[in-house]
Amino acid sequence: MQTIKVKYFTEEIEKLAYIDGVSDWIDLRAAETVTLRQGDFKLIPLGVAIALPPGYEAHVVPRSSTFKNYGLLQVNSCGVIDGSYCGDEDMWYMPVYATRDTVVTKNDRICQFRIMENQPKLVFEQVAHLEGKNRGGFGTTGKQ
């Protein structure tokens, strides 16, 4: 089991917890109460800075209930925090767009993260043809 160093910017949010056997995603909480009007953009502070292990990155995404409960969309779809953000002031944020007037209260669970191993080094080789079956080039049907 890995030990991860976490700095909390407030004592008013619950501490991070890995719940074994339930989910390998870890909830993140709003570090302050935020009021948004429809159409607003905001970086919601999550109240933590984390020193990721070498060779790892964190993927931050909304919880499944975030849109239903708050009408918020995470504007970068999936936030990727690489290991270089490990300084004392590198607090994590969730960039959101409000689709309706809403309030996120301090300590509300609004997003989640997991730690992933960095992609291995790759070399790209240009070819004239690929050998796989042609599926049409777009989604599951290949046609719009």
Rounded CA gap, 34 and 41, in Å? 11
Give me the catalytic one of 82, 88, 101, 108: 82
> Among this protein's residues, is 82 annotated catalytic?
yes
Supply 35's token pair. 């009021």
Q: Which residues contact 144 (CB under 8 A, 6 or more apart)?
A: 138
Closest CA to 29 of 14, 40, 17, 49: 14
Q: Which residues are catalytic?
A: 82
